[in-house]
Structure 1
């Protein structure tokens, strides 16, 4: 029985009900598998499993927190605009982009889907779980829910070190749906799965980490501040009030008084009503209004920290602190946009292309790459690229006119290294040694003028 069969059989046994007096068998029991696996909590454990917090992130953060949703939406909207192409490599340097029929798998990943749908799913899973898994099955791509995937690795030489061994390798991805009634588990080979994890988890060799993890306290504070504001309005949109009553008021009378007070003055619908008190009751204001509480400053600072963790400038996502002062000036906004494109989007695209390359047939001397030329958000970058190209072309032309070879001028311009320049020995402009006869391509002197001297006039004297 091979490794895949042993893993599958062991996991199938785990799903069977335990017999009376017996404990349920451990799926990763080394006595059963006799091959060590990388663990989830440390390199000395037996598996590397995605943390079971995906549903909590989705329900408690993505669907409940406005700033996080806005940040993820901006990342998704622009990241999903890219397309995939192949890029030629010549002497290790990138060349032109081109396409082949093999890209159809990425252009139509599954029924009624496009490259944008594929990229949207990938970035969403990465934001929430730190990992995105895409499997190739029966000529189609399938998105694997990240918290149902276990990364399986093994070491033959040093089994006691598990994932810490130098020869530890990923040998598969175990997909185990936790849906009610599901009994189908699948062990997929590395060649069948694209694993996209742009932020590595420092404690693991192959698992990624969500950018939400370091800012969970900021998210919790923002949720608390939002709840605080809601309670402010639910309780009459007025500051906290302390109501004292006369000592002669009995507990039953106080309960009836509180019930009437809440009925007539609690809630947004009862805000700003005139309060009438009797029987010796007295009201003391103990809180502050919204202006005094200054929620904008409190939440604005937290939103900026969230934006920094997401790699999205506050001005791009539209947070209040990013819209203040000169942030929206043309130059400042342009720098923020460039920071987002160069510092966040392009590294993500590059990583995604490298991850998906295992699922397509890449032509020789080429690599799978992204094409961002049609993205309107990056239109200013296209203008800058055109200006850079014009400058480089002018530099090459000038160097050739000055007598340097075309190949050396091109190489020196690309590498920004004048040491690569090779001179032809010809004088600039006419590019001929002094004293030689200027001829036409037919070998005849130029028409309409005197024949240039064949010798150096200085030598004739």
Structure 2
């Protein structure tokens, strides 16, 4: 029983049957029957489950990205480096990746909208993925259109198997301008019409992604509290907290007057370290601690490191305090951190983005949409390493051929890392002559030139 069939059953006596035959049927189905929402995980359309991104995009964008320095710095580093690549097609020869090439079909990602660039597209993709866990795009009239993540619902249908449900299949997307329940006209989209970039999968959903900020919400709150504490420290004292005791004979009016004088002369950062003069039997007791005593910088630095770990950015790359201490600043450690950032964060993100865009970018047969990172400034050191690797591979290939193996089998063995693929020609030595043969051009004797036989 299809989606529209279930809608008909809900409208009547659940006995009539229909099937989805056109996109209009699907649009009518998802537009007419929305049965409720259960707190941000799933809801149902005509009795069918759907995955909705949690309503945290606005919260993350305002309280994290726009007002939290460490989060902004991490996202800025990710965006700037992630957006430095170009997209190309890559040939697949014998199932293995080969050369890169371009066609006119790449114009959709090279200029995704009038005045837009590949870098603009990639920045919005990683920004949506960082804040909402998902980035959705569709192609319309020769342009790429961004679908705001919290306005997109993933419509699912259960897989019926042996009388039960064996998971759920994705049957489409539903985009509502302004968000669900705001009166907008829902727009249905089929799976092959949407690029869905979700680099971190939500463990509680089948297809939906999760923001890397979700596991470190507590760190975000702690960082905000530390920022408020730091601000209040300078606003209220900028010195250790104190208790002032007055003589019992001091009247309430005198108390308020004396308190006003102390606050005006000693509260705030501009009055820090001024000498405090007391009279009338007043006594001062220090009850607080300063920032050095409570290791404020160390506590804040550890929180920043946890945020950096969740973002996949080593602290030294983004310039956090813990990453700039001690031996972290030497060239070897920075190089290792940069390589970790490239190999374990950037390359998987680029591969995922290319695979997601392949859904809406026409790809030539025998190839795949891929990324070209050769011009990324942050990976220039990798280019040197790659050149050394190519040199070593070339020397190995030369050694195989000089040993008498066929060039074709030597290339296959080198690519596969399997020496059993080598095929010998039966010839030996660098000259590759048959055993027992003589040199057709012997060296000259008695001053005479050698002649060919």
In structure 1, the residue corresponding to 2:156 is in which secondary structure?
Answer: strand
Cα 1:160–1:174, aligned 2, differ >3 Å: closer, same or farther?
Answer: farther
What residue ranges of structure 1 are gaps of 5+ in the alignment?
14-25, 31-37, 441-446, 453-461
Counterpart selection for 2:81 from 78, 81, 85: 78
In structure 2, the residue corresponding to 1:424 is in which secondary structure?
Answer: coil
CA distance in 1 between partners of 2:270 and 2:196 (Å): 52
Matched, 1:433 2:434: yes
CA contact (8 A) 1:39 1:45 kept: no
Cα 1:6–1:269, aligned 2, differ >3 Å: closer, same or farther?
Answer: farther
Counterpart selection for 1:40 from 39, 42, 49: 42
Q: Which residue of 1 aligns with 2:414?
A: 413
Q: Which residue of 1 aligns with 2:169?
A: 169
Displacement after TM superposition at 1:156 (Å): 6.0
Displacement after TM superposition at 1:9 (Å): 4.9
Q: Which residue of 2 aligns with 1:387?
A: 388
Per-residue displacement from partner, 1:293-313 (whole Å, max 9, x unpaired)? 221111111111111111111
Matched, 1:124 2:127: yes
Matched, 1:87 2:87: no
Q: CA RMSD in A?
A: 2.7
Displacement after TM superposition at 1:271 (Å): 2.3
CA distance in 2 between partners of 1:120 and 1:451 (Å): 68
Matched, 1:374 2:375: yes
Q: Which residue of 1 aligns with 2:35?
A: 28
The list of structure 1 runs, each at least 4 consecutive aligned residues, that deviate by more than 4 angstroms after superposition, is 1-13, 158-161, 179-182
CA contact (8 A) 1:47 1:152 kept: yes
Alignment of 1:272-351 (within 5 A): 272-351=273-352
Per-residue displacement from partner, 1:176-231 (whole Å, max 9, x unpaired)? 23279863331122122100001111111100111111111112111111211111
In structure 2, the residue corresponding to 1:150 is in which secondary structure?
Answer: strand
CA distance in 1 between partners of 2:99 and 2:51 (Å): 39
What residue ranges of structure 2 are gaps of 5+ in the alignment?
5-19, 442-447
Aligned length in residues: 423
Displacement after TM superposition at 1:5 (Å): 4.7
Displacement after TM superposition at 1:415 (Å): 1.9
CA distance in 2 between partners of 1:74 and 1:336 (Å): 14
CA contact (8 A) 1:236 1:269 kept: no
Q: Which residue of 2 aligns with 1:188?
A: 189
CA contact (8 A) 1:137 1:192 kept: no
In structure 2, the residue corresponding to 1:46 is in which secondary structure?
Answer: strand
CA contact (8 A) 1:81 1:116 kept: yes
Counterpart selection for 1:138 from 123, 137, 141: 141
Structure 1 stretch displaced more, 415-424 or 99-108: 415-424
CA distance in 1 between partners of 2:215 and 2:262 (Å): 44
Cα 1:394–1:39, aligned 2, differ >3 Å: closer, same or farther?
Answer: same
Q: Which residue of 2 aligns with 1:458?
A: none
In structure 1, the residue corresponding to 2:293 is in which secondary structure?
Answer: helix
Per-residue displacement from partner, 1:324-343 (whole Å, max 9, x unpaired)? 12212222111111110010
CA distance in 1 between partners of 2:256 and 2:27 (Å): 64
Per-residue displacement from partner, 1:270-322 (whole Å, max 9, x unpaired)? 22333222222221111122222221111111111111111111111111111
Alignment of 1:443-454 (within 5 A): 448-449=449-450
Counterpart selection for 1:62 from 23, 44, 65: 65
The alignment's TM-score, normalised by the length of structure 2, stands at 0.87
Q: Which residue of 2 aligns with 1:268?
A: 269
Structure 1 stretch displaced more, 181-190 or 382-391: 181-190
Cα 1:82–1:276, aligned 2, differ >3 Å: closer, same or farther?
Answer: same
Displacement after TM superposition at 1:439 (Å): 3.5
In structure 2, the residue corresponding to 1:172 is in which secondary structure?
Answer: strand
